[in-house]
Amino acid sequence: MNAKEIAKNRWNSEFAKRGNDEIVYDDWLDSYEKELQACKTPIIDLGCGAGNNTKYLLEKGKEVISCDFAEMAVANIKSRFLQVKQVECFDMTKGLPFADNFTDIVIADLSLHYFSEEVTGKILAEIWRVLKPQGLLFFRVNSIHDQNHGAGQGKEIEKHFYETEDGRQKRFFDKHDIEKFWQAWQLLFYKEENMARYELNKVLWRCLARKVR
């Protein structure tokens, strides 16, 4: 199996076991309440996973399109959040199934750090395409200091991009990486932070970028 197949199998297995687990979100989006409340378009939750951000946004009264490439994640969202009108299952490396200038906000929480530099660039170009002018991308990605969750572990196949012995791939970012990958965007905020939602502390970058052209 290639890395993509390994990842899909892993996440489908994970979400199959977590279908009845309580969904717990952290407060990372609280700082952006003004931007979220001003949004009049459906918000794309790209890589929705268990539905942490979907739940948060629904509680804020927002319309959400929950998206993931793991079929079990999508199935769980459909069964747990009946108020979600649109749920999409697709591989973001092959593009996003939305029209140009579709939405004002895309949220990509811990879903953009699994890819090569080339593929990451293509995904960001697709997010740019579906955002309206001045649209916002809220995202979090792994930090190079995230040692509890794989930073520096495995074979380095690109700078800060590693493959483990079981074939899984994961990227980690430093400040320079954030500025390089999002150089076409206006970076409104980026800060390295700790997240305590998992059993082990996670170090990540919390970021906000605007489409400026």
For 7-34, how does the pLDDT look when each residue is reduced to its tens digit (9 = 90+)?
889 889 988 887 778 898 999 999 999 9
Checking if the pLDDT of 205 tops 90, the result is: yes
For 81-91, how does the pLDDT look when each residue is reduced to its tens digit (9 = 90+)?
999 999 999 99
**Do residues 131 and 163 make contact, with C-beta atoms less than 8 angstroms apart?**
no
pTM (two decimals): 0.95
DSSP classification of residue 179: H
Checking if the pLDDT of 156 tops 90, the result is: yes
Q: Is 191 helix (H, G, I), strand (E, B) or coil?
A: strand
Checking if the pLDDT of 171 tops 80, the result is: yes
Residues 52, 122: Cα–Cα separation, whole Å: 26
Q: Is 93 helix (H, G, I), strand (E, B) or coil?
A: helix
Domain range for 160 is 3-210
Residues 6+ positions from 102 with CB-CB distance below 8 Å:
41, 44, 130, 131, 132
How many independent structural domains does the chain possess? 1
